[in-house]
Structure 1
Amino acid sequence: MFEAKVFQNPNMRNGPLQIVHDFRFVALNLKDEYKWLEDADPEQKLAHITWRMERLKARGYGGIVLNVGFKHYMEDEAAWQVLDKTVDLARDLGLRIWIYDEQYYPSGSAGGLTLRDHPEYEAQGLVCVTQEVSSPASPGRIASPLGHSALVYAYAVPKNQGRLMFDQQINISHLSDHGGGLCWTCPGGEWKIYCFFTRALYEGTYLCRALRAPRRNISVCNKKAVQHFLDITFDPYIKKLGSRMQSSVEAIFTDEPSLFWHTPYPADFDPDQSYSKLPTESMREKPNMAIPLYAYIPWTADLEEQFRRDHQYPLCDHLPVLFEGTPEAVTTRLDFYDTINSMFDRAYNQQFQAKLQPFDVDFSGHMIHEERFEMHPSSFGDILRNLGSMDIPGCDLLYSDPERIRYSIACKLASSAAHLYRRDHVMIEASNMSDKQQEFSLAQIKCAMAIEFAHGVDTITSYYGENLFSEEEYAQFTKYIARLHQLLAGGIHQTQALVYYPFRQLASLTTVQNPFEADDRAAKLSQSAATIVQNLMMRQIDFDYISDEKLR
């Protein structure tokens, strides 16, 4: 309901939350040179933080998203003392407080600490290496590739006039040689051998090219790995903040947990350059470019057992057809992605909720590649289900062009999840990171915020820098967002249309052999789905996405 007096002076706690990872570092787009000398007096450092926080409050920000200092992440007592005082200062200023759960992104590594004493928690893939054989005189030999485990499974599939006869395949896993590879004597005729090994998912993933800290990460489907990440990350916050964890912290921001799909190296990729990215205090590692990159699926030690429980047949016997990508694999693909999705949900989402619920702290964040439907199966699974597991579903848009944001589906996915799973709020990580070379006026950025609210968002976490506008413009920017919240938040959403989220169709078409490019049919389906909603947006017909789960 519109109330003129409230609209004139909105509650500024509903203004944007500024993301401030570390007060030592110059904020994004900050033109002024703020020096943080390591040998500076603690009082000088606190004075700097106080000035920054008071300035955010004066500009109209509703809160901050913060974390313990990135240098010597989680293990620097001085950094915890700074955080302690920063939380008190934010509370005294009336600022809302969210906590960011990682040193850079993606979430799960705890700045490298999760794997430091538990390398077994690292994300793993099951790799497929194949060989064609047709003569007993030339036995099939496949060695374990560099950086891979010993042989896990092996199958020989006969060919009839060039066609693979999967119903006649032979399990030859027992023929592992002393080197961890396979040696098999062909009985005659044409055959294709499928050998399966595991390897750590670092090389050939975006982890080794991460923007800030190239490093390994955990398996988000491994319950022990995720629990270790949560304990390392949140137990110190719980201990240091005490009762303030419940009384002052509203939410936790998790950033792009992922299955770490295969992403080919760019032609100009330089591992030395990637490794040299700042900050130098991060745990990081050069990728080993000698490790060969074969097709893989995400893997955990208990995946085979879980798959059998879910679908009453063994996954291992269907691996050749799954990796080959033939039409016979549709059922197996659907079942595989269903199991992976469920394991992700139990290990990551549900354990996150269990960790935070005793403190009445909300779980929020966003996934990667929200707008690329064809990437969903191999990246994280059903996005509506994952976002619906959060108390505050979220998304990110790293650009500010209103015309581009107008047709983005990211906000609608997050708000649809909120409506489907009865969540009260929707968050966006908003910034101009990907189009910061363009000049955008305050009016254009306000327009972008209005479109995001129209698409169902009511909470802005801002990556916009601290020197993007004048002081007067910041006041206009934050008050505009607070007014949008006052007008639009808390209402009853009445959708005019439902748009089917085609996750199962995408999963049935997403082949293992080349998941980054995806099957052409999956890409076309993704584009078709995007076109439908863009046409609805052009006609200003509001809609929600709906999933198979909610249609049943």
Structure 2
Amino acid sequence: MANTNKVIGAILATCLAAVLTSVAAQDAAEQQPALGLPGEWVAAWRNPPAELRPLQIVHGLPAGQATPEAMTKLKELGLGGIVCNVHFNQYMRSDEHWQTLIKAVESCRETGLVVWIYDEDGYPSGAAGGLVLEKDAKFEALALAYDPSSANPFILRPSYEHTHASNNVYAARRYPNLMDAEAVEYFMKITHEAYWERLEEHFGKTIQAFFTDEPSLMATNIGQIPADIAKNVRIADPLDENIKPLASVPWVADLPAKYEERYGEDILAVRKSLFAGGSEADRRARRRFWSLVTDLLAERYYGKLHRWAAKHKVASSGHLLWEEQLVHAAPLEGNPLKMLTQMHIPGLDMLTSDPEAVIHTGWLTATLPASAAVFNGGRKVMTEVSD
């Protein structure tokens, strides 16, 4: 989530802080044989390089803070750099704000700090601050909803009311379909390519990663945010109070064709099984559907981000929505591990720095991205935290 008090820290996924703290108190060479820890891990724990230190999230630096002097102050605090973006005001369209960001990146280079790029105006990622749907309304996320009380129970409708798009603390804003390859291509064209066009010389050097924040399939009712919070949330797109909350699944225009191509079956003929039924045929239809949805999202959104990042000499990173419990995973992204393994640096959102607050509840949040890193043959994950 977007919050200027949060920081991102790249951590070694399988190293326990308690063990490393004990090791760091003694000579690394003595401890390596006993604990089997690589010497470079111990050295990095004792004196972390910039890329392994916390990075301060700054959503749009004022011109007066995009200076070497301001960055030096961050460095003196022990920070390794910043996670930033072009200013949210006139998002992507203000030359003045772009010049400020360029100055900030150059100041980080001068002072030895690293930069991660945050890929959205607020969150969830994928909308480019509404510019994707401004380009073409057909890019909007879709849901197949089911109303058993109706004579025609199946309704294909936009995924907006009752979803995370309209129930988050940043803005109620319509959201693109991340299973739509054309929509994702446009998002990346006006976001990632815009950063590359202006900051190419810093990619793979000062600029080390792109961060995507809580993207999802969007086709599920996540419940209303509390009224005292909702009253302060900006309404970018009006909500229709006549839209009923219904059981829904994500949809994209070519899903029926992809389903038939993969399974040799018409999804429309078995669509009721997506919502009801306990027979083996019903369960098979649901397994097939969610397997396909998972692969479409992994390929068309996370996979595109991964391939673009690799081509442009940076890492792809970010974190998923509602990652605390597996029950949320299927409606939001299908198989979360397939999304996380499409990241060079899988991530999580753990917005407390108090171990007592998370010791019994936060382990799953960290386990999935750590597992994804191991599956990819890597060791590094990141966590979004707050003080």
TM-score normalised by the chain length of structure 1: 0.59
Q: For residue 285 of structure 1, what is the aligned residue in structure 2?
A: 237
Cα 1:250–1:290 shift into 2, 3 Å: same
Distance apart, 1:245 and its partner CA: 2.5
1:105 CA displacement: 0.7
Partner of 2:136: 118
- The 5-angstrom pairing of residues 129-528 of structure 1 reads 129-131=147-149, 193-263=151-221, 265-266=223-224, 269=227, 274=230, 276-277=232-233, 284-328=236-280, 329-407=282-360, 408=362, 409-431=364-386, 464=387
CA change 1:319–1:194 in 2 (3 A) is farther
Give how far 1:275 is off: 6.8
**Which residue number corresponds to residue 38 of structure 2?**
none
8 Å CA contact retained: 1:108, 1:229: yes
Deviation at 1:425, TM superposition (A): 1.2
- Distance, in Å, in 1 between the alignment partners of 2:367 and 2:351 is 16
For structure 2, the 5+ residue unaligned runs are 1-22, 29-42
**Equivalent residues in 2 for 1:37-76, closer than 5 Å:** 45-46=63-64, 49-76=67-94
Matches of 1:102 and 1:64, distance apart in 2: 15
Return the TM-score normalized by structure 2: 0.83
Give 2:266's aligned amino acid: P
Q: CA deviation at 1:127?
A: 1.8
Q: In 2, distance between residues paired with 1:405 and 1:9?
A: 25
The question of 1:10 aligning with 2:28 is answered: no
Deviations 1:427-480 (A, max 9, x none): 11112xxxxxxxxxxxxxxxxxxxxxxxxxxxxxxxx4xxxxxxxxxxxxxxxx
Could you tell me whether the CA contact under 8 Å between 1:418 and 1:425 is conserved in 2? yes
Query: Counterpart of 1:87 in 2: which secondary structure?
Result: helix
CA distance change for structure 1 residues 430 and 267 in 2, over 3 Å: closer, same or farther? closer
Q: Is the 8 A contact 1:275 1:286 kept in 2?
A: no
SS of the residue corresponding to residue 211 of structure 2 reads: strand
Distance 2:353 2:321 in 1: 18
Q: How many residues are matched?
A: 346
Task: Report how far residue 196 of structure 1 moved.
Answer: 1.9
Question: C-alpha separation between the residues in 2 aligned to 1:350 and 1:62?
Answer: 28
CA displacement at 1:247 relative to structure 2: 3.1
Q: Aligned with 2:244: secondary structure?
A: coil
Aligned partners of 2:345 and 2:380 also within 8 Å: yes
Name the SS for the 2:380 alignment partner: coil
Aligned-pair CA distance for 1:290: 1.7
Using the alignment, how far apart are the partners of 1:48 and 1:322 within structure 2? 51
Structure 1 or 2, whichever has the larger Rg, is: 1
User: 1:63-89: per-residue Cα shift (whole Å, max 9, x none)?
Assistant: 111111111100010000000100000
Q: Cα offset for 1:398?
A: 1.3
The CA distance in 1 between the partners of 2:263 and 2:231, in whole Å, is: 43
1:261 counterpart letter in structure 2: A
Deviation at 1:50, TM superposition (A): 4.5
Aligned residue type for 1:332: A
CA separation of 1:106 and 1:47: change in aligned 2, threshold 3 A? closer
- Structure 1 portions without partners, runs of 5+: 25-44, 132-141, 143-192, 432-463, 465-552
The AA in structure 1 aligned to 2:100 is: V
Distance 1:250 1:8, change over 3 A: closer
- Cα RMSD of the aligned pairs, angstroms, is 2.3
Q: Which residue of 1 aligns with 2:37?
A: none
How far apart are 1:46 and its partner, in Å? Answer: 3.0
**Take 1:127 and 1:16, find their aligned partners in 2: how far apart are those partners?**
43
2:33 corresponds to = none
How many Å separate the matches in 1 of 2:279 and 2:338? 27
Return closer, same or farther for 1:307/1:86 CA change in 2, 3 Å cut-off: same
Aligned equivalents of 1:48, 1:128: Cα separation in 2:
51
